[in-house]
């Protein structure tokens, strides 16, 4: 059996994702779709709206065959490291292709962009460094560096294009036997705030839910299994997760830690610890705090990732041990369908690292960062609910009924 890989967050799983799963099966001509999914906190430095267990269940019920977790050490990172972790873990699961969504649905420009950048590497890097030294943020600096080398194939300021390009880049760079594929996204843009059709972006669905709860507009955008899981989580937890709910804890963490301690946290660089300590005293909410810290150099996304690492107290040292590895140290299997089970049965002898399911004393050390992130993720909820939701950690993998 052949498998194709998707790199996902499913925050939440919507009709656009369903379309992607179906199209990927066709395009890659495979029976088995393996999704590597971020866990508690996401690439843009935000808590997932519902927990990873309910998002896994939604995916498995909607046609995804295997869901594995992208370890925290890669999930809350710049697109480059995020892509590296995701692509490596899919490679370890034996996929022959990786299929991502893009505006054009055409893989050529991504491949061409890779060739252009490789050919002009010194010029690109010189231009990039020049802009960074001028105080530009990374996305702006790299955009200007692309212009400097006349890269016009794709618009690399578009978040989805950046991610897509990062996947291609990682596959090529790591020299993996994986074909990159892309499928055209139906919805026009990632930043869309309005829901028009039943295919809507995750951002607009979250926004609609925050404002109007389970409105017709909101519920019409989710496949029935995904809506069911969303509702189930909402009923159990009593709320969904958003940054503001973590503000008291994050603020307390920065108030209580000394600058020297803060500077050991992953992402707290270049004296950001002092800026954090100074601004926390006035901050009245996460949004307000971000507006107090934000400068040309620090994008909101970068600051939010930083906030996640402070919240989870994740040090540079603990991330460092994951960087530059040839393969990920483990696979965390969150869920699978019957097809996924068959695939795994035949393929797992080729997986050279341990495949972990439920948390137990044998894998506790390896899964430490992921477990901690999950624990901290739940701290926005009442304590008895935290205790009850935590039990899901021990009951994996989630199986399709």
Query: What are the residues binding a copy of itself (CB under 8 A)?
Result: 248-249, 251-253, 255-258, 261, 282, 284, 311-313, 372, 375-376, 379, 383-384, 387
Give 381's DSSP letter.
S
Q: Which residue has the tokens 């560096």?
A: 145
By C-beta, is 124 or 378 nearer to a copy of itself? 378
222: number of Cβ within 10 Å:
26
By C-beta, is 66 or 376 nearer to a copy of itself? 376
What does 94-133 look like in DSSP terms, one character per residue? Answer: T-SEEEEEESS--SHHHHHHHHHHHHTHHHHHHHHHHHHH
CA distance 54 to 1: 27
CA distance 275 to 317: 22
Question: Cβ of residue 256: shortest distance to a copy of itself, in angstroms?
Answer: 4
Pairing of strands 179-184, 331-336: unpaired
By C-beta, is 232 or 372 nearer to a copy of itself? 372
Give 266's DSSP letter.
T
- Kind and range of the H or E element at 49? none
**In a 3-state reduction of DSSP, which class is residue 136?**
coil
By C-beta, is 183 or 381 nearer to a copy of itself? 381
Question: Cβ of residue 312: shortest distance to a copy of itself, in angstroms?
Answer: 7
Closest CA to 328 of 358, 374, 370: 370
Closest CA to 10 of 58, 77, 81: 58
And the tokens for 155? Answer: 């618009």
Question: Cβ of residue 372: shortest distance to a copy of itself, in angstroms?
Answer: 7
And the tokens for 327? Answer: 């393969």
Alpha carbon distance, N-terminus to C-terminus of the chain: 22
By C-beta, is 45 or 109 nearer to a copy of itself? 45
CA distance 376 to 354: 25
Question: Cβ of residue 252: shortest distance to a copy of itself, in angstroms?
Answer: 5
* Sign, CA torsion 265/271/276/278: positive
Q: Which residue has the tokens 């107090």?
A: 292
Question: Cβ of residue 285: shortest distance to a copy of itself, in angstroms?
Answer: 8
Q: Which residue has the tokens 């019920």?
A: 61
Question: Cβ of residue 316: shortest distance to a copy of itself, in angstroms?
Answer: 13
Residues β-bridged to residue 399 = 336
By C-beta, is 192 or 375 nearer to a copy of itself? 375
- How remote is the C-alpha of 2 from its chain's centroid? 25
Question: Cβ of residue 257: shortest distance to a copy of itself, in angstroms?
Answer: 6
Question: Cβ of residue 148: shortest distance to a copy of itself, in angstroms?
Answer: 42
Question: Cβ of residue 383: shortest distance to a copy of itself, in angstroms?
Answer: 6
Question: Cβ of residue 207: shortest distance to a copy of itself, in angstroms?
Answer: 25
By C-beta, is 338 or 391 nearer to a copy of itself? 391
By C-beta, is 251 or 294 nearer to a copy of itself? 251
By C-beta, is 110 or 377 nearer to a copy of itself? 377
By C-beta, is 158 or 261 nearer to a copy of itself? 261
């Amino acid at each position: 059996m052949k498998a194709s890989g998707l790199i996902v967050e499913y925050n939440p799983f919507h009709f656009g994702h369903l379309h992607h799963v179906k199209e990927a099966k066709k395009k890659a001509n495979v029976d088995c779709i393996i999704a590597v999914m971020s866990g508690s906190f996401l690439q843009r430095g935000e808590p997932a709206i519902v927990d990873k267990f309910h998002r896994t269940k939604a995916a498995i019920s909607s046609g995804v065959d295997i869901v594995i977790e992208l370890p925290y050490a890669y999930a809350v990172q710049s697109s480059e490291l995020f892509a590296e972790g995701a692509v490596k873990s899919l490679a370890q699961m034996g996929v022959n292709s990786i299929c991502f969504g893009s505006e054009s649905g055409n893989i050529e420009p991504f491949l061409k962009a890779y060739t252009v950048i490789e050919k002009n590497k010194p010029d690109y890097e010189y231009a990039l460094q020049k802009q960074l030294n001028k105080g530009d943020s990374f996305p702006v600096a790299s955009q200007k560096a692309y212009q400097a080398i006349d890269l016009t194939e794709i618009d690399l300021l578009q978040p989805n294009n950046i991610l897509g390009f990062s996947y291609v880049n990682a596959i090529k760079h790591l020299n993996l036997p994986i074909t990159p594929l892309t499928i055209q996204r139906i919805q026009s843009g990632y930043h869309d705030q309005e829901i028009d059709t039943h295919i809507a972006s995750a951002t607009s669905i979250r926004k609609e839910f925050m404002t109007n709860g389970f409105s017709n507009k909101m519920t019409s955008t989710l496949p029935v299994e995904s809506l069911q899981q969303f509702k189930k989580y909402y009923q159990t937890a009593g709320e969904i997760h958003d940054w503001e709910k973590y503000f008291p804890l994050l603020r307390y963490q920065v108030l209580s830690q000394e600058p020297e301690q803060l500077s050991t946290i992953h992402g707290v660089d270049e004296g950001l610890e002092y800026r954090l300590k100074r601004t926390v005293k006035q901050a009245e909410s996460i949004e307000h705090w971000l507006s107090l810290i934000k400068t040309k150099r620090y994008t909101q996304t970068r600051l939010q990732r930083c906030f996640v690492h402070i919240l989870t107290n994740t040090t540079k040292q603990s991330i460092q041990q994951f960087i530059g590895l040839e393969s990920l140290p483990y696979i965390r299997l969150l869920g699978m369908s019957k097809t996924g089970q068959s695939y795994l049965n035949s393929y797992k002898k080729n997986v050279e690292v341990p495949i972990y399911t439920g948390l137990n004393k044998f894998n506790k050390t390896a899964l430490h960062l992921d477990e901690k992130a999950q624990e901290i993720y739940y701290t926005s909820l009442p304590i008895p609910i935290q205790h009850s939701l935590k039990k899901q950690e021990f009951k994996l993998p989630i199986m399709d009924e």
